[in-house]
Chain A
């Protein structure tokens, strides 16, 4: 899993493809694999009753479970449905690219993703950083921001800052708005300053939480850095 790359990668795709893609479905696609399942991985408390998967790793990435949401085929199916319902190739393609970016990014952890589902339930992973979603959220954050995961996110932050023009008002007006009728529609009620904030929101969210979690993990707490492959070693990483 990744804590900030899913917020940031859509902006990199946007930069490369310009008006051929739209940022809203890119972001929805990028968030979609975890959208309905992540809360059940970590668990939530409802009126004193804890709702949590018995086997969070199996539930999140496996089969049986909802690991199919991280497969390339799932992105294709949903993108096909979007095309069918909206007749928008831009929305369909954008969703697909955002979804695939997420599925491929999560290949970086020690579990990986079932990319070839439903043809295979094998998970593909390179094991660069520890998957620790089976622990609690804060331990997972401490581990992620101590290993190579946060470095991977940092690459996307750096990339976004170097490509800062995509965050400007001019780029928004000339590329983002013409590519997607959504902005014209919502712009009937909301002024441009708010639209710009919405457009930049995921970049803002990804970047600021990356900084905040690093400070939290290493200045407020004492989680040790461990940039070894598959680290940090101090967390009980889940493996396939």
Chain B
């Protein structure tokens, strides 16, 4: 469930940013990178903080 919640939060942020800057919605690479950042890299960084 926490994974689903994480994806939903990242999705909501991506939608919000995309509505403000529509050019963000035009690139698959940027969309995939955004998802990787949100569900993999950021959680990794947060977990490793002392």
Chain A interfacial positions (CB closer than 8 Å to B): 7, 31, 137-138, 141, 191, 193-194, 197-198, 200-202, 204-205, 207-209, 211-213, 215-216, 219-220
Partner of A197 from the list B18, B26, B28, B39 (CB cut-off 8 Å) is B39
Q: Is the CB of A207 within 8 A of B28?
A: no
Q: Is there contact, CB below 8 Å, between A197 and B15?
A: no
Closest CB in chain B relative to A1 CB, distance in Å: 13
Since A7-B28, A200-B7, A213-B22 are in contact, a sample of 17 more A-B pairs with Cβ atoms closer than 8 Å, ordered by chain A residue number, is: A191-B40, A197-B35, A200-B35, A201-B31, A204-B11, A204-B31, A204-B32, A204-B35, A205-B28, A205-B31, A205-B35, A209-B25, A212-B25, A213-B18, A213-B25, A216-B22, A219-B19
Contact A193–B40 (Cβ < 8 Å): yes
Pick the contact of B32 from A141, A205, A207, A216 — CB < 8 Å?
Answer: A205
The number of A-B residue pairs with CB atoms under 8 Å apart is: 64
Q: Number of B residues contacting the other chain (C-beta, 8 Å)?
A: 18
Min CB distance B32 to A, Å, is 4
Q: Are the C-beta atoms of A204 and B7 separated by less than 8 Å?
A: yes
CB distance from A142 to the nearest CB of B (A): 10
Residues of B within 8 A of A197 (CB): 32, 35-36, 39-40
Tell me whether B18 and A201 are in contact (CB under 8 A).
no
In the complex with contacts A201-B31, A202-B28, A204-B31, A194-B36 CB distance below 8 A: yes
Give the CA-CA distance A89 to B12 in the complex, in Å: 38
Q: Is the CB of A137 within 8 A of B26?
A: yes
A212 pairs with B31, CB closer than 8 A? no
| A216-B11 in contact given A198-B32, A201-B31 (Cβ < 8 Å) | no
